[in-house]
Amino acid sequence: MQLTRVDQQKQEAETEILRKIAYQVGVDAETVTAQQAYQGVAWTVRERLIDAFNKTQAYWREKDPKFIYYLSAEFLMGRTLTNAVNNLGLEGEFGEAIRKLGYSLEELQSQEQNASLGNGGLGRLAACFLDSIATLSLPGWGYGIRYRYGMFRQGLENGFQSESPDTWLTNGNPWEIPRRDLAYKIGFYGSVQDGKWQPAEQVYAVAYDNPIPGYGTKTVGNLRLFDCQPMSEFKLASFNEGKYSEATEDKRKAEDISAVLYPNDATEYGRELRLKQQIFFVSAAMQDTLARFKKTHKDMKELPSKACFQMNDTHPTIGVAELMRLLIDQEGLQWEAAWDITTKTLAFTNHTVMPEALEKWPVAVIGKLLPRHMEIIEKIDSIWIESLRKKVTAQVGSQSPKNALEKVAGAVKGALEEKTADPVEAALAKYSIITENPWEKGVKLVNMAFMATIGSKSTNGVAAIHSEIIKETIFKDFYELSPEKFQNKTNGVTPRRWLAYCNPGLSKLITETLGSNEWIAKTDQLAGLRKFSDDKAFQKKWRSIKLENKQRLADLIKSRVGISVPTNALYDVQIKRIHEYKRQHLNMFSVVNRYLNIKAASPEERKKMVPRVVVIGGKAASAYVMAKKMIKLVTAVGEVVNKDPDVGDLLKVVFLPDYNVSLAEVIVPGAEVSQHISTAGTEASGTSNMKFQMNGCLIIGTMDGANIEIAQESGKENMFVFGVDAKDIGRLREERKNFKVEDPRWNKIMQFLTSSTFEAGLFQDLVDNVNDMSKANDWFLLGNDFSDYLRAQDEIDALYKDQDAWTKRSILYTAGSGFFSSDRCIDQYAKEIWDVKPCEVPSS
C-alpha cells in the first residue's frame, strides 16, 4: 500500500526521534523515561528548527535588509518544546510518535526546565516580542545574557519566601547552538591615554544562538545570548605552586558576570557586577553587529539604514557610550559623524516611573570600570548642554523676555519665572546627564535614562497613560524640547503562547466559531466572537471549557501546596511580582474582610455567599523586606482561613510558590477574575492583564497602565473599576497626613492583623506602613482606595450569581483583546520607530 505524504512524514518523524533516543540520549526506546523521551523529541525538533533557521539567516544575508536588534537584560522565555512544535506546524507529525513512546506532548513539555532569564513583565515582553518579530518575518535578533542561573527558585519556609538557585541548565539545553568560535573581547578598568583605552582586564563574550520560530511563516529569528569566559581559564604555574584558587580565579571572576540576573546590588562588588553585565552584553551585541555590517558595507554612515538597536529600559543604555566608542576608537570616525550615526541607530523604551528602577550610576563607578566610556559620557553631556546654552542665550538675549518665555523650553520658563539668579544655568542643570546625588553631597551620578533619550532617535512608553506620564514627569523638560521624539507603544502579548497553546479548549472553540484559525495571527478577528456573547448554547460551551481549565488549576494547586479547592468557587487570581505598588496587601485586606464576614454570618446567610478561591503568586526581590512580609501575609491569612471549619469551602487562600511562565500558562486559563490593582499612575502597563483578557477572565482594576485601554476595547462597564484617578495622586499624597479611612471595616482588618491570631508583632510594620498617618505613610494610597475596592469586590460576587451575564462579559473580554497582540505592537515599532520591513524566505 502506498503511504500518503502525511503518513510518510509521521514515519520519518518517528524514525528520527527513535534515532535520537538511541544515539543522543543513549537509551532503549522500550524503557524510555519521560525525561529521556523529552530529550529525544526536543533534539529532533531542534534539527527542524535549525534547518529553517539556517535558511532564514542565509536569505537575510543575501538580501541585506535592515535589522532590528532588541537589547535586553531579560528574556523570560519559559519552555520551548510546545511552542516550537506548534509554531513549526509539527503537531501532526510528532503527535503520534510521541504517543507511541507512551507520552503526550504535555507530559514531555513538563520535563523541560523554564528558561527564567528574566524578572517579570519586562522580560516576558521581550520574549513575546521575539515571537512576533519572527511571526511578522521582520529581520531581527534579540541580544542578551545567557545567565547560568535564572531567576531564583522560590520556596516557602514557615510561610516566608526562601530562595535557591535556579539550575536550569542541568539537563542540557537542546534549544541553543553554542558558537564557541564566535567570541568578543570585553574590557574593564585600566586607563585612557590620548583617547586610547588600555583595559586592565578582559573577558570573552561567547555567543549562543537560540532559534525563534515564527508562526505561520518559514521565518526563524534568533536570540543571541552571551556567556562570559576568561581569556585564559587556568594558570598552570599557579596551580603547580599549590595556589589552587589563584589558578582558577580569572575563570571564576569571568563566570560571575553571566552567573545570575540582577546580582544583589547592596554591596559595591554587586553594583559593579551589574554594570559589568550591562557593558558585557551591549558591547558584544554591538561588536557582533558591526562585524557583520562591515562584511558588506564600507561606509559606517550606512549603519542607520541597516540596523536599529532598541534599548529595553535603562539596562542597555550604556550602549550610547559604547557605540560612540566603537565608532570613534575602533572605526576611526570623527565625533560629529559618530554622534550622528549613534542618534539615528538607537531607540529607547522606558518601562517604569519607579525611581528605584531608573538607573543612575555614580560617575566614580563608571569612571573606574569604564574610564573611556566615562570620558565619552562627559563629552556628550558638555556638548549637549553647550548646544542648549547657545539656543537659550540667543533667545533670552535677543528678544524681549516675554517672547523668550514663550519660546524656550519649560525648564527655562520655570527658572525665569522663579527669578533664579542665573535662570539659564539653573535651567540647563535640569537637562544634564551628570547630576549631583541629592542624598549624598559631592557624589555625581550619570542619569542613564537622560543619556538614552539624548542619544536615541525615539523614546517610548509602554501604554497610553504611561507615555503621557513620562512626558509630564521624568522626561518633562526633554519632551518640551523635542516633542517629536516621544512616542507610545502600548504593550502586547503573543496570542500563540497566551491563548492558542495554553488554552487548547478555548482555542478550538474559537476556531470552530470563527470558521478558521486565522485569528491566531490576526487577532482582530476575535471581535467576531462579540455576536455570540448572548448565545446561550455558545455560553454553555464557553463555561464548560472554563470548568476544565479550573480543574487543571485545582489539580496544580493540590499538587504544589496540598490544598483542595472546589471547582464551583469563583477563581480569583493575582499573579505578578510582589510589590507595594501592585498592592497584594490590599487584596489580602479584602480577603480578611471576606473572612470576617463569613465568620459573622448565619448559616442561612452563608448559603447565599459566593465561594471564592483566591490565588496569589509572585516573587519578592531578595532584598525587599516589605514585599517578603506581604508574602507572609498571604500564607499566614491562608493558614487561618483554610483550616477554619466555619469557612469550609466558602473561601480558600492559596499562595502558589515559584510562579513562572509555565505556571502562568495553567493559571491564566483557569482564572475567572484577575486583579490589577496598582495605585493609579504606578504600573507602566502590565501585560498579564492582557493575557487574562484574551482568556476571557474578568478584571478588577484601577485606571492604570494598560487597564485603561483594555477597558476601552472590552467595555469599561464590563470591568470592575475602582480607585482614585492618576491625576489626583500627587495631591492625595500631599494630603496623607490629614487623611483618615472612615470605613469601619478598615479598622477591623487592621485590628485583626495585629491581634493574637498571629504571632505578636508579625504584621505591625505592614499595618503601620499603610495606617500610621502621623508618619504620612501609605505612599501607595491603600486607604484612599479601600472602600471603593470592596464595593467593586461586592459587584463581582453579585454578577457571579448570574452565570449567563458573567459568561457574556467573559466572551466580550476575549472579543476585545485583539489589540493586545504583540503582533500589533511590533508592527507599530517596525513602522514608527525601527523602519524595518518584513523579509520572508519565499516558498520554493
Enzyme catalytic residues: 351, 576-577, 582, 687, 691
d(CA 649, CA 655): 17
Residue closer to ligand NTF by CB (options 124, 457) is: 124
- Which three cell numbers, joined as nine digits, stand for 510? 474559537
Residue closer to ligand NTF by CB (options 455, 705) is: 705
Shortest distance in whole angstroms from residue 719 CB to ligand NTF: 17
Shortest distance in whole angstroms from residue 118 CB to ligand NTF: 9
Give the binding site for ligand NTF (CB under 6 A). Answer: 120-122, 125, 313, 351-352, 357, 462, 491, 683-687, 705
Shortest distance in whole angstroms from residue 74 CB to ligand NTF: 8
Sign, CA torsion 51/54/57/59: negative
Residue closer to ligand NTF by CB (options 351, 809) is: 351
d(CA 621, CA 611): 32
The string over 462-480, giving b where at least 16 C-beta atoms fall within 10 Å of a residue's C-beta and e elsewhere, is: bbbbbbebbbeebbbbbbe
Cβ contacts of 789 within 8 Å, gap of 6 or more: 586, 590, 677, 700, 722, 723
d(CA 782, CA 590): 11
Residue closer to ligand NTF by CB (options 122, 290) is: 122
Lookup result for grid cell 560617575: 363
Residue closer to ligand NTF by CB (options 412, 830) is: 830
User: DSSP of 781-800, one letter per residue?
Assistant: -HHHHHHHHHHHHHHHHHHH
Residue closer to ligand NTF by CB (options 137, 689) is: 689
Shortest distance in whole angstroms from residue 684 CB to ligand NTF: 4
d(CA 730, CA 682): 12
Residue closer to ligand NTF by CB (options 224, 351) is: 351
Residue closer to ligand NTF by CB (options 288, 313) is: 313
d(CA 276, CA 257): 7
d(CA 184, CA 207): 9
Shortest distance in whole angstroms from residue 78 CB to ligand NTF: 16
d(CA 43, CA 18): 11
Residue closer to ligand NTF by CB (options 579, 612) is: 579
- Which three cell numbers, joined as nine digits, stand for 293? 555590517
Shortest distance in whole angstroms from residue 582 CB to ligand NTF: 9
* Cα distances (angstroms) measured from residue 110 to each of 150, 665, 718: 18, 12, 35
Structure letter (DSSP) for residue 203: E
Residue closer to ligand NTF by CB (options 593, 682) is: 682
- Which three cell numbers, joined as nine digits, stand for 632? 507572609
205 close to 225: Cβ distance less than 8 angstroms: no
Cβ contacts of 59 within 8 Å, gap of 6 or more: 839, 841
d(CA 452, CA 433): 9
* One-letter amino acid of 834: W
Shortest distance in whole angstroms from residue 829 CB to ligand NTF: 13
Lookup result for grid cell 503518513: 7
Shortest distance in whole angstroms from residue 668 CB to ligand NTF: 15
Shortest distance in whole angstroms from residue 669 CB to ligand NTF: 20
Q: For residue 761, is it left (φ>0), alpha (ψ between -120 and 50) or beta?
A: left
Q: 715: burial class by Cβ within 10 Å (0-12, 13-18, 19+)?
A: middle
Quote the Cα angle for 465-469-475, to 5°: 140
415 close to 427: Cβ distance less than 8 angstroms: yes
Helix (H) or strand (E) run with residue 626 in it: helix 625-642
Shortest distance in whole angstroms from residue 484 CB to ligand NTF: 23
Residue closer to ligand NTF by CB (options 460, 807) is: 460
Shortest distance in whole angstroms from residue 233 CB to ligand NTF: 34
174 close to 210: Cβ distance less than 8 angstroms: no
For the chain, the residue count is 844
498 close to 491: Cβ distance less than 8 angstroms: no
Shortest distance in whole angstroms from residue 457 CB to ligand NTF: 20
* One-letter amino acid of 329: D
The SS3 of residue 168 is: coil
Residue closer to ligand NTF by CB (options 313, 580) is: 313
d(CA 616, CA 677): 13
* Cα distances (angstroms) measured from residue 59 to each of 55, 64, 137, 307, 704: 6, 8, 12, 17, 43
d(CA 113, CA 97): 22
d(CA 705, CA 688): 11
Instruction: Pick the closest to residue 122 from 567, 625, 491, 670 (CA basis).
Output: 491
Shortest distance in whole angstroms from residue 682 CB to ligand NTF: 8
Report H helices in 482-535. Answer: 495, 504-514
- Which three cell numbers, joined as nine digits, stand for 784? 484612599
347: which strand partners? 310
706 close to 694: Cβ distance less than 8 angstroms: no
Residue closer to ligand NTF by CB (options 230, 686) is: 686
